[in-house]
Each structure stands twice: as structure tokens, then as C-alpha cells.
Structure 1
Amino acid sequence: MTLDIEALLKQAPELIVTYGIKIVLAIVIYIVGKWLAGLLSKLLEKGMNARNIDPTICNFTKNITYYVLVALVFITVLGQIGVQTASFVAVVGAAGLAVGLALQGSLANFAAGVLLVLFRPLKIGDYVEAGGTSGTVKEISIFCTIMTTPDNKTVIVPNSGIMGGNIINYSTQEKRRVDFIVGVAYSANLDTVRKELQAIASEDERILQDHDVTIGVAALADSSVNFAFRVWVNSANYWGVFFETNEKIKKRFDAQGIQIPFPQMDIHIAKE
């Protein structure tokens, strides 16, 4: 026992020098590595902000990048002081795989959220149909998109549901076409109908006169002659023009004696 202590004391200076240098290098690697991780994550955030990427995604990506880099620095430090990192990395990898499988739905939503922010098929304030619902986009978060319906209900849609289907965005175009189907009686004078519809389009300042106004017979239906009446407006005026034009059509047709028919059925009773 005495010999072992004496041998250890003789080797102490060599051990102190050897492991002291390793420990000092490990500390230096940790400090410098952590500083570089912070620097790189901040540069990444700055680059994403320059591209006007959503702040939520910027902050999340910055944090993930920082912690991944710090984890790599930590593994390097363990290797520097002599710890076998191969088995440690294997354990971390297995744990990461298990977590990834358990949270694959959330990861899919996160990836879809990043794509929504990068490709901008919709943005806050747009009225869209997506993910099986329609409404005004209020927030695009990491895992879901929050929309408000016209009757003021809040709908939370997973981002993967939006990116996995069709997206109809009603707010991206400055101009939209308003379509009407106007049914008149078979006895109505078609030229008069066309004249009245043209007058409605010409008198409304919100209807864009430099765009074609379509007025034509679309169908000879069971109870009516159906006119296709199509005009162009600025997107902000769409619903105002839609509702008021329907009212104008009814009033003008009434004034001109143009009948708007409704489905009728004649029943003939046979006497035996």
C-alpha cells in the first residue's frame, strides 16, 4: 500500500501536467465553442430577419441552432478530456430517433410552418380557404395557423393540414371578377334585359370600366332564361358590389316590368 502511494506521488507531476493540459484545453474549447455557437446563431437570425421571415420562426431556429452547436461543443470537450464519446453519441442518436418518432406529427407541423413562412402562400390578414376551413389569417405560429371566420369564430389549423392541401387565397390579387346569374322569364325582351344590365355596370363607379363586362345568355333553363353577368372590381369592393348589384337588378327589373321567374309546377288532374 505504501509502495502504491509512493508510486502515485512520483507520477503525480506527470499526471497533473498531462491531464491539466487536457482540462485547460477542454475549458478553452468550451468557452470558444460556446461563443462561436452564439455568434453563428445570431448571424443566422440576422440573415433570416433580412429576408423578412416570421420572427417566431427566426427565434425558434436560432435557439435550435444554438443548442445543437453547444451539444457538439460539449461532446468535443468530453473527447478532449478522454471520455469515450462513441457510445455517448450512439445513446444521444437513439434518444433523438425515439423523440422524433414520438413527435413526428409535431415535426411535420413545424416543417410545414417553416414552408409557409418561406414561400408565403398566405400571410397575416389574408382571407383564405385552407385546411378544410376558410377565414382571415390572424397568426402563423410554429405548429399551427390561427384563422378567424366571418362570424368571428377562431379556428386553429395544423400547418401540415394547410400545406398538404389546396390553398385558395382571395387577397393576393388586386382585382377580382364578380359573377352573377340573372334569370328572366321566357317572355322577357332579351335586348331590354341586356340594356338594363349594361346600365347597372356603367353607373357604378366601383366597377372597372376598362375591363370587359360580360353579358350573355348562359342557359335556357327549365323556368328561366339565365344571363351570365360578370364585372371586374377592386378586391376591396367585391362584397359591396355583389350585394348592392343584386338589389339593383331586382329594382330595375321591377321598374321595367321584367319578370324574374321562380320554379313553378302545373298539376293537371285527369277525371276518370
Structure 2
Amino acid sequence: MMETQEEVINSFSQIFSLPLSELLFRIVVAIAIVFVGRLISKWLTRAAKRAMDRAKTDQMLISFLGNITYYALLLIVTVIALGVLGFPTTSIIAVLGAATLAIGLALQDSIANLASGVLIIFLRPFRIGDYVETSDEEGFVTDIRLFHTLLTTRDNKAIYLPNKDVMGNNITNYSDTPLIRIDLVYGIGYSDDVLQAKRILEEIVVANDLVAKDPAPVIAVKELGDSSVNLIAWAYVEVKNEMIVTYNITEQVKVRFDQEGISIPFPQRDIHLFQPN
């Protein structure tokens, strides 16, 4: 290893002892190799992704392998450029190997993220496009990269989660099943007609085109609260429609209850004052 380091150090002195014209020529050629090599790396990566896409490879695997391919090609281009400058390529590879080991020990978290990324790819707890909850965050899986997973929230925010945190926590995949159940709770006054309110709520839920017919919606009295009789509606929807269905039904419930004279009470408390005399 010491001999390899000495070779690299000696090559520095040899390179800078070259005539200025030859040194500049080598530098220009090396820069050109890096520039062209980067373009070729991008092109080859895109070509590999298209080939995997035609082979109907999982999108998650395509993205992950595409990243590995791109950075591996960049490493090869860098070694070639250093060789053109005059550095011994075998020594460079040996030094890179030793440096990789040292960096790996120093960057254990990054290595853990990389290993976790590989596990995500092959265990497939989720796929690109799935809606998941993990590490106290939730959103649609947009991309799985070497060191992190990218989620996009409902309000279009990007969340970058380290892969080791994803694999080290519980993962709830809402897209594993085609439908999820939403629980909609609405309170009515104790003096209101419960059966009428249930009928209205059922009509609204069943009429919504985004609510699944099978399993059928369920309407019931959830509880007798302090200030209201609370009705609950179970409705099954696709995860992408969860919020719009919730908002739509809630608005219609308010309109229909007002039209039918059904009250939606607010919490209230009776206070009794006692005087000694």
C-alpha cells in the first residue's frame, strides 16, 4: 500500500515537470473526457432504464439500478481522465479501494442507508406511486435513491427520508390494498330524529361516485356524547380520493341537515351557582 501511495505521489512530480504545452494539452484532454464521459454516462443510464422499462421491470428497481449505473460510469470516466493526466491507473484503483474502506468506516450511516436501499428494492415493502406512512411522515413514494427515499405529501411537499430510517421503522402501506376505509363522524342533537339523520347520511354516502359499492357503506350510531348523538359512516375509497370524498360528504351533510332541520350541536356545559344563603 505504501508503494502504491509513493507511485501516486511520484506521478504528481512527473506530471508537473512536463513541458507547459504538454501539461495543458493533457489537462484539456482530461476535462474533455470528463465532460463527454458524463454525457455518455447519462445517455447509457437512460438507455438502460428504457430497456428495463420495456422488460416491464419494477419502476423502483429501474430507478435504483439507474442511479448505481450512472455513478459507476462516472467513476470509470474519472479514472480514465486521471490516467490521461499521467497517474498510474492501477495505483489509482488501489488508492480508491483503500479510500473507500476508510470512508466507509467514517460514513457508517451512509453505508447503512445504501444497504437499506438495497433491502427496500428487493423486499419491496412499497413501490413507486404507493401512499405510505413511515418515520412519522406520510406521502406518495416518488423515488427511491441510493441513500434516501423521496415522498411527496398531499400538499406537494418533498420529504427526503434516509433509507435506514425507513427500514428501521414500521411501514404502513395504504396502497397494498385497493381500498381504505374512512370513518366520518357527525353529531346531531338529542332532540333530532336519529333514523332520519341516518337515512340522509346514507343517501349522501351511497350517491358519491368515488365511494365503493363493495364493501357497502355502513351507517350507525357511534356513541351518545356529552352534547350530541354521534353518527358514523364507514366508506371505502381509493387512497388518492380519501380527502376529496371526506370534504365532499361533509359539505353535503351540513347542507342537507340544515334543509331537513337537523341540528349539529356544539359542546356546551351547564354551570350551577350555589349561594350560602
Q: TM-score, normalised by structure 2?
A: 0.63
Partner residue of 2:220 out of 213, 216, 219: 216
Deviations 1:125-156 (A, max 9, x none): 33322223222322211011122333333221
How far the C-alpha of 1:161 sits from its partner, in A, is 0.4
Larger radius of gyration: 1
Partner residue of 2:65 out of 44, 47, 57: 57
Indicate the percent of aligned positions where both proteins have the same amino acid: 41
Relative to 1, partners in 2 of residues 1:63 and 1:249: Cα closer, same or farther, differing over 3 Å? closer
For 2:271, what is the secondary structure of its paired residue? coil
Does residue 248 of the first structure (1) align with residue 252 of the second (2)? yes
Partner residue of 2:140 out of 126, 136, 139: 136
Alignment of 1:147-226 (within 5 A): 147-226=151-230
Relative to 1, partners in 2 of residues 1:248 and 1:238: Cα closer, same or farther, differing over 3 Å? same
Q: Which segment is superposed worse, 242-251 or 100-109?
A: 100-109
Q: Which amino acid aligns with 1:123?
A: R
Q: Which amino acid aligns with 1:197?
A: L
For 1:205, what is the secondary structure of its paired residue? coil
Q: Within 1, Cα distance between the matches of 2:64 and 2:239? A: 30
Deviations 1:67-97 (A, max 9, x none): 9xxxxxxxxxxxxxxxxxxxxx9x9998776
For 2:132, what is the secondary structure of its paired residue? strand
How many residues are matched?
Answer: 204
Relative to 1, partners in 2 of residues 1:113 and 1:209: Cα closer, same or farther, differing over 3 Å? same
Q: Which segment is superposed worse, 105-114 or 140-149?
A: 140-149
Q: Which amino acid aligns with 1:156?
A: Y
Q: Which amino acid aligns with 1:250?
A: K
For 1:121, what is the secondary structure of its paired residue? coil
Q: Within 2, Cα distance between the matches of 1:207 and 1:55? A: 34
Q: Which amino acid aligns with 2:177?
A: Q
For 1:54, what is the secondary structure of its paired residue? helix
CA contact (8 A) 2:186 2:232 kept: yes
In structure 1, list runs of 5 or more residues that go unmatched.
1-44, 68-88
How far the C-alpha of 1:216 sits from its partner, in A, is 1.3
CA RMSD, 1 decimal: 3.1
CA contact (8 A) 1:125 1:137 kept: yes
For 1:177, what is the secondary structure of its paired residue? strand
Relative to 1, partners in 2 of residues 1:93 and 1:126: Cα closer, same or farther, differing over 3 Å? closer
How far the C-alpha of 1:63 sits from its partner, in A, is 7.7
Q: Within 2, Cα distance between the matches of 1:207 and 1:63? A: 46
Structure 2 residue aligned with 1:266: 270
Relative to 1, partners in 2 of residues 1:261 and 1:110: Cα closer, same or farther, differing over 3 Å? same
CA contact (8 A) 2:206 2:217 kept: no
CA contact (8 A) 1:54 1:117 kept: no
In structure 2, list runs of 5 or more residues that go unmatched.
1-47, 76-93
Q: TM-score, normalised by structure 1?
A: 0.64
CA contact (8 A) 1:214 1:229 kept: yes
How far the C-alpha of 1:199 sits from its partner, in A, is 1.5
How far the C-alpha of 1:110 sits from its partner, in A, is 0.4
Structure 2 residue aligned with 1:19: none
Deviations 1:234-259 (A, max 9, x none): 34432221111001111111111111
How far the C-alpha of 1:55 sits from its partner, in A, is 4.2
